[in-house]
Amino acid sequence: MNDIIEPTENLKAHFLRLYQMAICDDNFSSLELKALYRSAEERGISQKNLDEILLNPISSKVTIPESIEEKIDYLYDLTVMIWADGEVSPNERASLEKYVLMFGFMEENALQIVEYLIDSVKEGKSKTDIFNDLKN
């Protein structure tokens, strides 16, 4: 069993972004909800803790991940969330691009990053695969 941890402000902001991503296409599916709770579980956050985060939102604007690894980690999770129902709506794509820009990536690279992440998740690449791709 995973140890339950107290989520940091950064992690809370991440889960609020995941939730926003899940509901942005007007088709909030149970698959997206399951993906959200699975992602929390993988990070040692209990269902109860995640419920508290979603019910007591903080400003997710102030807590931007700093390291490139953390940015890619979070963007990967967001991409998994929008692909959970097997389709990517224009709203979801636009939201992912917004987060790419918010995380400090250059505007001229944003669309390419979004496409790469979506294609990678569709192909079933893991975060590790993506980190390795980006290092090369």
In this prediction the pTM is 0.75
Q: Which residue has the higher pLDDT, 31 or 88?
A: 88
For residue 101, the surrounding DSSP H or E stretch is helix 90-102
Whether residue 72 is predicted with pLDDT greater than 70 in this model: the reply is yes
Q: Please tell me the distance from the alpha carbon of residue 120 to that of residue 117, in angstroms, as a whole number.
A: 5
Looking up tokens 């990053």, which residue turns up? 113
Q: pLDDT value at position 29?
A: 78
Q: How confident is the model over 26-67, as pLDDT tens digits?
A: 677 788 888 888 888 988 889 898 888 888 876 555 678 889
- Determine contact, residues 79/121, Cβ cutoff 8 Å: yes
Six token digits for residue 108: 């001229």
Tell me, what DSSP letter sits at residue 4? P
Q: What single letter denotes the amino acid at residue 7?
A: P
Q: pLDDT value at position 107?
A: 93
- Model confidence band, residue 1 (pLDDT cutoffs 50, 70, 90): very low
Closest CA to 71 of 4, 13, 31, 121: 13
Q: pLDDT value at position 2?
A: 47
Q: pLDDT value at position 3?
A: 55
Q: pLDDT value at position 96?
A: 94
Q: Please tell me the distance from the alpha carbon of residue 76 to that of residue 35, in angstroms, as a whole number.
A: 12
